[in-house]
């Protein structure tokens, strides 16, 4: 996926209407999301607990963190990649 000249990612193709999807496609997309969320929650919770336990960060520091521009760009790319995979699941 290429970036536009204004720095924003190009708009993704719209998936088919939900009424055109098979039940298997819909379930595959939902399961992908559920798996992603479950893994991320577990990993995030583990990291936060270890950081607080070892006195590296406090809960307040974690809650008030604001990423810099490079980190924001990487997070946007990660979200875009997930959305593309979901659209692929819904379009196959």
Backbone φ and ψ for 83, nearest 5 degrees, come out as -60, -40
pLDDT band at 16 (very low <50, low <70, confident <90, very high): low
Q: Per-residue pLDDT tens for 74-85?
A: 999 999 998 888
Q: Please, are residues 91 and 12 in contact by the beta-carbon 8 Å criterion?
A: no
| Range 63-67 average pLDDT | 93
User: Which pLDDT belongs to residue 65?
Assistant: 92
Write down the pTM of the prediction: 0.53
């Amino acid at each position: 996926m290429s970036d536009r000249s204004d720095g924003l990612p190009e708009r993704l193709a719209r998936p088919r209407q939900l009424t055109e999807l098979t039940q298997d496609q819909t379930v595959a997309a939902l399961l992908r999301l559920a798996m992603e969320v479950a893994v991320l929650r577990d990993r995030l919770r583990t990291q936060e607990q270890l950081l607080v336990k070892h006195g590296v960060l406090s809960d307040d520091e974690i809650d008030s963190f604001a990423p810099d521009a490079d980190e924001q760009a990487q997070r946007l790319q990660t979200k875009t990649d997930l959305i593309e995979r979901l659209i692929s699941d819904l379009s196959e």
